[in-house]
Amino acid sequence: MIQKIKTFALLAMISMSSLPMMGQDLLAHQAPVDRRMKAVDSVALQRLIDFDNLENPSADLYEDWDNMHAHSHVTVLPDSFRISLKNFCMPTTSRVLTSNFGARWGRQHKGLDIKVYIGDTIRAAFAGKVRVVRYEGRGYGKYVVIRHDNGLETYYAHMSKQLVVEDQEVRAGDPIGLGGNTGRSTGSHLHFETRLCGVALNPALMFDFRNQDVVDDYYVFHKSSYQRESAVANRLRGVSGMSFGNDLDEDVELATAAPEASYVQESRFHKVKRGETLYSIAHKRGTTVDAIMKLNHLKKNSKLRPGQILKFN
C-alpha cells in the first residue's frame, strides 16, 4: 500500500513537472504542422477519406439512416462488394437451425431460424450502430437491426427483450437482446437476417451456426450471380425481379424437426404430427397432396401415423 502511494506521488510529481515543458513543445510545433497540413490539404484529406472508407465501407454504401423502417432504404446495390467477416461474434451459441433461408411454403424466408430459448442472450454479430429497435406484432416481433462497419446489416427478430437503443454504437459480441417468441412466431427462436443494401443474403453463406464460426474471412457479393439466382428462384415462384421487401411470412418454427437434424434434411423431410393430414402437410410445405403421395408411395386412403417421416424431394 505504502509502495503504491509512493509510486503515485512520484508519478504525480513527474507529470506536474513535465507538463509545462510538453505544453510548450506542442505549441512550438503547432504552427509548422498547420502550414504543412495546408500545403497537402486536398491529398491528405482524400487519404483520410479513403482510409475512413476502408475502415467503414458502410459509409460508402448507404446514404440514409432510417430508424423507423427496417426495409425503407433505397440504396444502389454495388456490382460487387467484399464483406469482411473478421472480428465477428456468433449471435447465439445455439447450433440448431430450425429453418433454412429461401423458398418455404411457397414464399421466401429471408433469414435463418435458430433455436433459442426465452431469455437466451443474443449478441451483435459485428461492430456497428443500431439502426432500428421496434416491435412488429404481425411480423418480426421485438426486433433489432444493426448496420455494421463492414457494410452488412443484420436483423434479429422475435426477441423477448431488446437491450439496445437506436443509434447506439455496439461492438461485436455486445448483448443486444434476449431470445423470445414475439411477433409472428410459434416456438421461441431467433430469426436472423443478413442484408446488403436491403437485399437479403443467405446468412449461411457467412455464418456456420453448427460449427459456431464464420465460413471464411470474407464474403464476396456479386450482383450478377445474385440476380441470376434470384431470377431462377422467382421464375419458380412466378414472380419477377429482385425482392427487397420484408416478406417475413409466417415464421413458424418446425417443431417436428429433430434438434440434431441438419437444416438441409429438415427442408427435405417432414415428421408427421398427431392430427396432421396429407392435405394440411401439403399446405404447410407449399406442395400438393399428389406430390407427397408419389414421393412416398402412398395411396389416397393410406393412413398417416405420428412420427412417420415423409420425403419432399
Give least dist CB 230 to Zn ion, A. Answer: 18
For the chain, the distance separating the N- and C-terminal CA atoms, rounded to the nearest angstrom, is 73
Distance CA 179, CA 177 (A): 7
Kindly state whether residue 251 participates in binding Zn ion, applying the rule CB under 5 A: yes
Give least dist CB 99 to Zn ion, A. Answer: 6
Give least dist CB 41 to Zn ion, A. Answer: 51
Distance CA 42, CA 264 (A): 54
Residue type, 196: L
Stretch in the footprint of Zn ion (CB under 5 A) among 51-59, 232-240, 246-254, 283-291: 246-254
CB 247 within 8 A of CB 258: no
For Zn ion, the nearest residue by Cβ is 191
Structural element, H or E, at residue 186 = strand 185-186
The 3-state DSSP class for residue 60 equals helix
Give least dist CB 145 to Zn ion, A. Answer: 15
- Closer of 113 and 153 to Zn ion (Cβ): 113
- Closer of 57 and 141 to Zn ion (Cβ): 141
Kindly state whether residue 136 participates in binding Zn ion, applying the rule CB under 5 A: no
Stretch in the footprint of Zn ion (CB under 5 A) among 16-24, 166-174, 187-195, 267-275: 187-195
Distance CA 121, CA 166 (A): 19
- CB-based burial, 186-203: b 16+ in 10 Å, e otherwise: eebbbbbbbbbbbbbbbb
Give least dist CB 110 to Zn ion, A. Answer: 8
CB 143 within 8 A of CB 180: no
Give the CA distances from residue 10 to residues 6, 13, 120, 266, in Å, rounded to whole numbers and listed in that order. Answer: 6, 5, 49, 68
- Closer of 24 and 265 to Zn ion (Cβ): 265
Pick one of 142, 147, 148, 191: the residue that binds Zn ion (CB under 5 A): 191
Give the CA distances from residue 309 to residues 54, 229, 281, in Å, rounded to whole numbers and listed in that order. Answer: 50, 30, 12
- Closer of 116 and 130 to Zn ion (Cβ): 116
Pick one of 113, 193, 253, 266: the residue that binds Zn ion (CB under 5 A): 113
Give least dist CB 168 to Zn ion, A. Answer: 24
Give least dist CB 183 to Zn ion, A. Answer: 10
**C-alpha cell at position 266:** 429438415
- Closer of 81 and 207 to Zn ion (Cβ): 207
Kindly state whether residue 193 participates in binding Zn ion, applying the rule CB under 5 A: no
Q: Which residues of this protein are in contact with Zn ion, per CB under 5 A?
A: 113, 191, 251
